[in-house]
Amino acid sequence: MNENPWTILGERAVYDNKWIRVTEYDVVNPSGGKGIYGKVHFKGLAIGVLPLDEEGYTWLVGQYRFTLDQYSWEIPEGGGNPDEPPVESAKRELREETGLVAKEWTHLLDMHLSNSVSDEKAMVYLARGLEQREAMPEETEQLVVKRVHFEEAWQMVERGEITDSMSVAGIQRVKLLVLGGKLSIG
C-alpha cells in the first residue's frame, strides 16, 4: 500500500513564484497508460486559527477571495513560514487579522488540501486566553472581522455559509470535542 504505483518518465517546471511551483510530469499511471500529471507545490504551510473566548465566542474573517470570485467567511488563516514552528505562524496570523493574542494554543488537526493536484498541508490551532490588541492586516487583505458565538459559526457551516476547508474542519473538530466532553465553551 505504501509503494508508489506511478512511474515518472520526466518532469518540467511550468510556473514558479515565491508561494507555489507548478510541475508537469510525464508518467505511466498504475494501469500502465502514459499520460501527464500536474502538481502544485506549496512553499509554505496553510495555517488556520480558531480563537475561542471564555464566553464561547469566536472570530470570523470575511474577505473577497480572488480565486473563487466570491466573498468568504473563514477562521483567521494564512501562510506559514516553513522555517519557523507552525504555532508561531498561527500566532502571527491571529494577531494580523484580528488583533487577538492568545495565552493557550492547542493543535487541532493536520490536513491536506486538494491532494489530487497539490501537496499543500494545513494545520489548524485552537487559541484560548485571548487579549484584544490592534489588527495589522497585510496590504492585500481587505478584511471584515466579526465576533460570533461558536454555535453560530457551527450553524454557518451547517447552512453552507462557511465553505473554506480549514474553517469547516476546524469548526467541526471543535464541535466534536465539545460533544465528546473533551472541551467546554461558555
* CA 48 vs CA 2, 114, 130, 167: distances in Å: 29, 16, 16, 7
Q: What is the DSSP string of 6-60?
A: -EEEEEEEEEE-SSEEEEEEEEE-TTS-EEEEEEEEESSEEEEEEE--TTSEEEE
Cell numbers for 103: 495565552
Whole-structure pTM value: 0.93
C-alpha cell of residue 98: 484580528
Contact 78, 96 (CB under 8 A): yes
Grid cell in block for residue 94: 491571529
What tens-digit pLDDT sequence spans the chain (186 residues)?
789 999 999 999 999 999 999 999 999 999 999 999 999 999 999 999 999 999 999 999 999 999 999 999 999 999 999 999 999 999 999 999 999 999 999 999 999 999 999 999 999 999 999 999 988 877 776 889 999 999 999 999 999 999 999 999 999 999 999 999 999 997
